[in-house]
Amino acid sequence: MTEHEDPSRDRLKNHFAQRVIHQARHLLEVWQRLQRAEWTSADLAELTEANGYLLRYAERFEQPEHTQLAQGIKHSLEAVKANRGRLSSDLITELSQLMQRLSRTGLRHGDQLEQTFLPPLRKPVYLALQDQERAQRLAQQMDFFGLYVQTCDSANAFRAAMAERHPAAIVMEVDFAGRGTGLELALEAQKGLEHKLPVLFFSHEETDTPTRLAAVRAGGQEYFTGALDASSLLEKIETLTRTAHYEPYRVLIVDDSKAQAMHTEMVLNSAGIVTQAITEPALAMGALAEFQPDLIILDMYMPECLGTELAKVIRQHERYVSVPIIYLSAEDDLDKQLDAMSEGGDDFLTKPIKPRHLIATVRNRAKRARSLKARMVRDSLTGLFNHTHTLQLLEDARSRARRDGRPLTFAMIDIDHFKKVNDTYGHPMGDRVIKSLALFLKQRLRKTDHIGRYGGEEFAIVLPDTDLEAAHRVLDEIRRRFAEIHYPAQPHDLSCTFSAGIAELRDDLDSNALSKQADEALYRAKHGGRNRVELFT
């Protein structure tokens, strides 16, 4: 047996690699936390320390990808320090891109890390239900989706688990171990914790407001009643437990005063918000298309035009109708402020403004705008992007791939014999299969991949920086694993498969031609026997 084939050595490498991934996740959690407030020197010191540990572990345990990323983050943080602790838009963007790349390492199923498959390292989910048979079934289903679930069969078992390790989330039946005891156990588990653990409560019957209020006070993030639907539960747990792919808020500043624009930039940059400032209103529409901000800050009075006039021009474009516009001006006449807000504005801030007030207003408005946009561009059943927005994302990705000279692939997926599923098991089961495939794709693809529900049982995936071979490898692995899932049903359990077609961007193809090629490859997969992945060549 050669040294490479030594199983004990491979297990050791696997253990070391997991240590590195664990530290990477800790660094990402610190990064996420810093997005919620104005950054201080102590925050940057904490980030630097976490990255320092990552770099040491990565070098010691010979993980080249993590080493390279940690060195890049170190370089960026040193640049912040050299800039007297001030963050610029370029530095925020640079750090954000490095963190996004870090969030993908070891977290994408099918990727290789030193030739060893490493699933994401997760804290357990504690499952406390009265019906132990139901709990075991749910735990088995969650295992298919890469969630580590630990069931508790008594109040003491739950307390012992909590004493040993804090979970990523708790699924708690309100009457677990006695009437209302679940609420008491959850509240007890939260004592002394700075950040409450997310709890998903369940009860067989609809409950009154005081019970739901008690659930909220015990850290309840969700309250399920009646039948505990595995798909809904899985989706909520996934949302609560994954390491988020954080994208900083982006703000476009339009102000004819360069000094004022720079000051606004500096204030927002200090809170980790990416900005772009322009002093000529005529350049605003071009900047909007290129920068794609979450929010716009407009000066009220500019030589070339009024802020209200520019707001009207922006609102004439359908794509920017919902982007919040905040006027920032020395104008203190309330009637004029109200008139300005009626002309396409969402808020009016008067100069001079306290930095904390500006940051809080921008954050709240941008967060609400993102939430609203998500509802507009996502499919209600699966939470994936809808057909129209998926094509828009494909076009945006195509433009970037052309500009940067990077590969791009587009995949179409179709669930096999789906009509038979609906006819035999009913539409609720069909919806369940669609939702589970959506969650499966979200878990096993990168955060930078765009997944859309194209319609019915058909899905589409935009894969930036991915060639045909890599796309085939990843989707074929997903196809094989998805076929292993069993859905409890009568007269026998159901399992499903899917077919897929993939096309790669070549020459001067437009997005329509690329999607047609993927569709053609999918057609070949369907007529070639189904449950397979075909490439357009």
Mean pLDDT value across residues 328-342? 77
pLDDT of residue 8: 57
In this predicted structure, the answer to whether residue 115 has a pLDDT above a threshold of 60 is no
Q: What is the pLDDT of residues 33-42, one digit of tens each?
A: 776 666 777 8
CATH number at 511 reads 3.30.70.270
Q: CA 466 to CA 8: how far, in whole Å?
A: 34
Alpha helices in 324-386 (DSSP H): 334-342, 355-377
Whether the CA torsion 298, 301, 305, 309 is positive or negative: it is positive
Put the strands of the sheet holding 347-350 in their side by side order: 274-278, 250-254, 295-299, 325-329, 347-350
Contact criterion met (CB below 8 Å) for 273 and 251: yes
**Top-confidence residue, 25 or 364:** 364
CA distance 177 to 132: 12
What 8-state DSSP symbol labels residue 196?
P
Are 219 and 255 within one domain?
no
Inter-CA distances, 438 with 335, 380, 415, Å: 50, 12, 11
Q: Are 365 and 326 in contact (CB under 8 A)?
A: yes
Domain termination residue (choose one: 104, 138, 157): 104
528 and 392 in a common domain: yes
**pLDDT value of position 229:** 62
Between CA 319 and CA 326 the distance in angstroms is: 18
Nearest to residue 456, comparing CAs of 418, 497, 423, 482? 418
| Domain-embedded: residue 115 | no
Higher pLDDT, 394 or 41: 394
Q: How far is CA 76 from CA 33, 61, 66, 80, 273, in A?
A: 18, 23, 15, 6, 16
CB neighbours of 406 closer than 8 A, spacing ≥ 6? 400, 464, 465
Average pLDDT over residues 72-81: 90
Segment 405-430 mean pLDDT: 92
- What residue has token string 């914790």? 193
- pLDDT (tens digit, 9 = 90+) per residue, 132-154? 888 887 887 777 666 778 899 99
**What's the sign of the alpha-carbon dihedral 232, 238, 240, 245?**
negative
Cβ contact 273:249 at 8 Å: yes
Q: 131 and 182 share a domain?
A: yes
pLDDT confidence of 109, banded at 50, 70, 90? very low
| pLDDT grade for 525, boundaries at 50, 70 and 90 | very high
How many domains is the chain partitioned into structurally?
4
Buried b (16+ CB within 10 A) or exposed e, 279-290: bebeebeebbee
Whether residue 6 lies inside any domain: the answer is no
Residue 166 contacts by C-beta under 8 Å, 6 or more apart in sequence?
123, 193, 197
Instruction: Pick 137 or 394 by higher pLDDT.
Output: 394
Residues 232 and 257 in one domain: no
Element housing 396 (H / E): helix 387-404
517 phi, psi to nearest 5 deg: -65, -40
Question: Tell me: the pLDDT tens digits for 210-265?
Answer: 889 989 988 888 888 877 766 667 767 766 655 445 678 899 999 988 999 999 98
Question: Which tops the pLDDT comparison, 79 or 344?
Answer: 79
Q: Are residues 189 and 55 in the same domain?
A: no
On the CB side of 202, CA atoms within 13 Å amount to: 21
- CB burial of 308-323 (b: ≥16 within 10 Å; e: otherwise) equals bebbeebbeeeebeeb
- Give the confidence band of 467 by pLDDT, cuts at 50, 70, 90: very high
Write out the two tokens for 503.
């096309």
Q: Do 185 and 100 fall within a single domain?
A: no
**Residues 525, 391 share a domain:** yes
**How high is the mean pLDDT of the chain?**
83
Among candidate residues 70, 104, 138, the one where a domain is terminated = 104
Looking at the structure, tell me whether residues 142 and 222 fall in a common domain: yes
Residue 118 domain-assigned (yes or no): no
> Which stretch of 344-348, 386-390, 460-464 has the lowest confidence by average pLDDT?
344-348
Instruction: Let me know if residue 349 belongs to a domain.
Output: yes
Q: Is 334 within 8 Å of 313 (Cβ atoms)?
A: no
In Å, what is the CA distance from 465 to each residue of 272, 443, 451, 507? 26, 18, 15, 16
**Same domain as 335, residue 215:** no
Host domain of residue 354: 250-376
117-133 pLDDT, tens digit each = 333 445 788 999 988 88
The reply to whether 405 and 472 lie within a common domain is yes
Q: Kindly state whether residue 109 falls inside one of the protein's structural domains.
A: no
Q: Is 8 within the bounds of a domain?
A: no
Query: Among candidates 414, 387, 390, 408, which has minimal Cα distance to 524?
Result: 414
Residue 381: per-residue pLDDT: 82
- What are the structure tokens assigned to 264, written together? 């606004």
- 64 and 95 housed in the same domain: yes
Average pLDDT over residues 523-528: 93
Least confident range from 108-117, 189-198, 472-481: namely 108-117
Confidence of residue 105 (pLDDT cuts 50, 70, 90): low
Looking at residue 533, its pLDDT comes to 94
Boundary-marking domain end, from 71, 104, 137 = 104
Portion of the chain with pLDDT greater than 90, in percent: 29
**Which pLDDT value is given to residue 311?**
87
Over 90: is that where the pLDDT of 460 sits?
yes
pLDDT at 457: 93
pLDDT confidence of residue 137: 79
Quick check: is 110 in a domain? no
Statement to judge: residues 322 and 434 lie in one domain:
no
d(CA 533, CA 478): 10
Measure the CA–CA gap between 132 and 303, rounded to whole angstroms.
72
Residue 337 lies in a domain: yes
d(CA 411, CA 86): 42
Query: Can you give the CATH number for the domain in which 147 is found?
Result: 3.40.50.2300
